[in-house]
Amino acid sequence: MSKKLGLPEAVRMRHDYHLVDEIARRTRTPIIRNIPLDKIEPNELQPRKEMGDLTELADSIREKGILEPLIVKPKDGHFEIIAGERRFRASQLAGLKELPCIEHDVPDNEALELSIIENIQRKDLDVYEEAFALRMLGEIYGYTHQEIAQKLGKSRVTVTELIRLADLPTTVVEKAREAGITSKTFLLELVKLEDPEKMMQVLRDYAQNAFSRDEIKRQRQEEAARPEENKGQEPVTKPIHPPLRFRFVSEDKAIKIHFNIRKEENLDRSALIQTLERLLDDLRENRISELDF
């Protein structure tokens, strides 16, 4: 007789139906079973970086067990988490040996996409993680802002604004987190400053005396008007130009190419064309080993 797979009868399965339905639509019938904890691995590209304090969740798991199964996919003899990393880490603290899981066999890229969508829909990400996760959806899968908005049930404007926040430098994000800043409108005004040093100065001022986004907007408008009043004077600092990012996606979405170009003050179009032509020559001559067809 084959070994019975499934959750213990005492465990009541619970999970957000929108994600389960989406995964089920893409895969064959899932397997529901207990999996040894040492066979489960987090996804390295998991968008959520801050797991928060797991003590309370670990205590709840010790008392009641896992009521909401993890969603995993088989990978190299182990199981990679699609959804439920926080429950996984809390279970480690609680000393569990195995966890109830819903196993779906989906490709790596779809598993990552589902993980990002699940975290955003469950509001498990802070504004910074959400911004980088949305940009990841665009960069990895070639989705437009409108397509991302439709997948998540958000407006296109909201998606565009959040992705704009992903331009904040890492040092600025860390400083803003320390200051407890989570307001999207405040951070949008901050990112418009473009110069990381100016951003850091605003955050240092904010730490001394908190203020609203209107103060940043006022300072930015004053600075924009200053060159007219001080023509001929050398600026104290030279603005930093953010990189140019654009992508090419074939009609069938099988080929997605992303370009990141450091934006200089006088970008030479001919130099860009020459570089792309050199890339085409390398492809024709099969000089790129990673693309050895």
Q: Where are the domains of the chain?
A: 17-121, 171-240, 244-291
Say yes or no to pLDDT of 140 above 60. yes
Residue 57, pLDDT score = 87
Residue 261, pLDDT score = 66
pLDDT tens per residue across span 65-103: 888 888 888 888 899 888 888 889 899 999 999 999 988
Q: Where are the alpha helices (DSSP H) in the chain?
A: 17-26, 55-64, 85-94, 108-121, 127-141, 145-152, 156-165, 170-178, 184-191, 196-208, 213-229, 269-284
Nearest Cα neighbor of 184 from 200, 202, 152, 161 is: 161
Say yes or no to pLDDT of 239 above 50. no
231: confidence class by pLDDT, cuts 50, 70, 90:
very low
**Residue 61 burial (10 A CB sphere; 0-12, 13-18, 19+):** buried
Whole-number Å distance between alpha carbons of 129 and 137 = 12
Residue 205, pLDDT score = 87
Query: 43: how many CB neighbours lie within 10 A of its CB?
Result: 20
245: confidence class by pLDDT, cuts 50, 70, 90:
low
Whole-number Å distance between alpha carbons of 185 and 178 = 18
Using DSSP, state whether 87 is helix, strand or coil: helix
Residue 266, pLDDT score = 56
Using DSSP, state whether 47 is helix, strand or coil: coil
What does the angle CA 156 – CA 157 – CA 162 come to, to the nearest 5 degrees? 100
More confident residue, 128 or 230: 128
Residue 66, pLDDT score = 84
Kindly list the distances between the CA atom of residue 272 and the CA atoms of 6, 8, 132, 263, 282, in Å, as whole numbers in the listed order.
57, 61, 27, 11, 16
Tell me if the pTM is above 0.85.
Answer: no
Say yes or no to pLDDT of 224 above 60. yes
Residue 46, pLDDT score = 65
Whole-number Å distance between alpha carbons of 90 and 291 = 42
Domain 17-121 fold is: 3.90.1530
- Token reading at 54: 């797991």
Nearest Cα neighbor of 155 from 145, 164, 165, 163 is: 145
- Token reading at 10: 């005492």
